[in-house]
Chains A and B, each alone.
Chain A
Amino acid sequence: MPIELKISQQSNQTQRVNPENDVFLSIAIGNAQIGGSYVEDSEGNLIVKGAITNFNLGRGSALVGQRIKIFTNVLDKNPNNNDVIVFHRFSNIKQSYKYEDTAPEKGVVSIQVEYLFTL
C-alpha cells in the first residue's frame, strides 16, 4: 500500500522587493525531515525544483507584480515525531517565512504557498 500524501491548505503571501537587486530564494526543511520543492510561475511554467539554495529568481524590478507558487513536499523521515517545519527565505529584502504542519506517519505533506512580489 503506497504511503499517504496530505495536501496542506494553500497560503498567500506578499513579498516586498528592492527593484535594484536580484532576488534569491532558499528553502530549508527542519526537524531532520527530508523534502524537495517545485517552483512555478503564474502560468504554471517550472522555474526551479529540487533542494533550493540561493536560487536567483531575477531582478527585483522584473519581479514586481509577478507571482510564483512554491510546492514544498516533505517526507516524514524522523522516527520521533511527524512535525514538519519549512522555511522559505528571500534575500533581496530579507524575509523568512516559517510553515508548520504534520505529515501522515511515514507519509508526505505538501505545503503550497503563492508569493506576490511588490515594491
Chain B
Amino acid sequence: MKHIFILILLCFLIGKQANAQGEVKLSDIKTPVSPGFVIADVTPSSIEKPSTPKGVVASLLSIKNGGSLEVSPYWIIKSKSRESLLYDTFIKRKFFFAKTLSFSISTFKSDTGSYLSVGARFRPISIFSNGQIAQITAKQGEIVAELSQLPANINLQKLERLTQELDDLDKQPLLSAEIAGALLGYSTNKSYEGLKTSRMGFWANICFIPPKTNLEVILLARYLKNRETANFTKEANLFDFGTSIGFEKDKFSFHTEFVYRKDNFLQKDYHRIAAVLNYKLNDQIYFVGSIGKNFTNVNNIIALLGINFGLSKDQLKLQ
C-alpha cells in the first residue's frame, strides 16, 4: 500500500512538471543503462545502444529494488580543456576517451541476496557524416544568429524550437561505439563482509544509424566470467555475439535482438532472442515490455512489463 501511494505521488508530481515543459523524445528520457545492470542481466534488453556521456546520472531499477549512480569526471571537474572546448569542435571530433569516460556503482536486490557492482565505460568513436555535420553547423548558425541580439529581442520560443531541432541532429551519430566493463559482487547476508565477486565482464557495442531513418543497428561482442556463487552463478566463461535492430517513432520504440552465447567452460552454446517495446507516457515516465526466450534451457521465457522513470532529462547537474 505504501509503495502504491509513493508511485501515485511520484506520477502526480512528475506529471505536473512534465506538463510545464516542451515535448521530449522517448530517447531523451531513457536513462543510459549502467554497466552494473547490464552485467547482472537485469535489464529488459541485452544489447544497449552506446550512450551520450552525462555529468552525473542517477537511475532507478525500481523504487524497491535498487538503483545506480554514474559519474563522468571530465564534466564535473573544472579544467582548461573544458573551458576552451567549443561546441563545433566537440561535434566534429571522432575519437574520444576522457570526455566520454564514466564510472558507475549499482546496487540491487533479489529474493536470495544483494548485489553491488562497479563499472566503467567510454565511447571511443562517434562519427557524424559530412551531411549531418553540415546540417548541425547550419542549425547551430541559426541559433547563434538568434542569440546575437540584445537580450530583450531574443525570440525564446523560436530558440526553443531551434534547440530541439539541433538536439535531434546531434544525438544521432552515423556510427558510434562503446566499450564497457563491470564487476559484480553478491552477498547472501546483505553485508559487505559477505560480498563475493560473482561475475566480471567487458563488452563493446557498435551502433549504426542510417541517416534520415528511424532505424538503428547495433552489434555486440561480450566476454563474461562467472565464479561459482551459491544461489546465483555457476563457473563459466561466456562469449556473447549479438545484433539488435530497432525502430523509434514518436512515443514508441521497438527493437528485436539476437545473442549467441558460447560457454567455453561447459563447452555449450545458447542463444537469446527478444523483442522490447517502449512507450512514452509523459516526459519522464515510459512503459517497457519485453518478450522472448532467454539463454538457459529451462525457465527461459522472457515476459517483462514495467514502468521506467527516466531521470536523464532532469539529470543531476553540478553547479
Given A28-B84, A73-B154: A102 in contact with B319 (beta carbons within 8 A) = yes
Q: Which residues from chain B contact A92 at a C-beta distance below 8 Å?
A: none
Given A5-B154, A73-B148: A82 in contact with B317 (beta carbons within 8 A) = yes
Q: How far is the CB of B79 from chain A (nearest CB, A)?
A: 10
Given A5-B156, A29-B87, A108-B154: A81 in contact with B147 (beta carbons within 8 A) = no
Interface contact A37-B148, CB-CB below 8 Å = yes
Q: How far is the CB of B147 from chain A (nearest CB, A)?
A: 3
Does B125 have its Cβ within 8 Å of any Cβ on chain A? no
Does B188 have its Cβ within 8 Å of any Cβ on chain A? no
Report which of A3, A30, A38 forms a contact with B148, defined as CB distance below 8 A: A38
Task: Please report which residues of chain B, range 63-92, place their CB below 8 angstroms from some CB of chain A when the two chains form the complex.
Answer: 72, 75-76, 82-87, 90
Report which of B55, B143, B314, B317 forms a contact with A34, defined as CB distance below 8 A: B143
Q: Which residues from chain A contact B83 at a C-beta distance below 8 Å?
A: 30-31, 85, 98
Q: Which residues from chain A contact B163 at a C-beta distance below 8 Å?
A: 3, 75, 77, 106
Complex CA distance for A85 and B84, rounded to whole angstroms: 8
Q: How far is the CB of B80 from chain A (nearest CB, A)?
A: 9
Report which of A5, A30, A83, A102 forms a contact with B86, defined as CB distance below 8 A: A30
Q: How far is the CB of B194 from chain A (nearest CB, A)?
A: 37
Q: Which residues from chain B contact A1 at a C-beta distance below 8 Å?
A: 20-22
CB-based nearest A residue for B85:
A32
Q: How far is the CB of A52 from chain B (nearest CB, A)?
A: 9
Given A81-B317, A108-B159: A35 in contact with B55 (beta carbons within 8 A) = no
Complex CA distance for A64 and B163, rounded to whole angstroms: 40
Does A105 have its Cβ within 8 Å of any Cβ on chain B? yes
Complex CA distance for A81 and B82, rounded to whole angstroms: 11
Interface contact A31-B154, CB-CB below 8 Å = no
Interface contact B156-A2, CB-CB below 8 Å = yes
| Interface pairs (20), CB distance under 8 Å | A1-B20, A1-B22, A2-B157, A30-B86, A31-B82, A34-B147, A35-B147, A36-B144, A36-B146, A36-B149, A75-B163, A77-B166, A79-B52, A79-B315, A80-B55, A80-B317, A81-B75, A81-B76, A83-B319, A87-B84
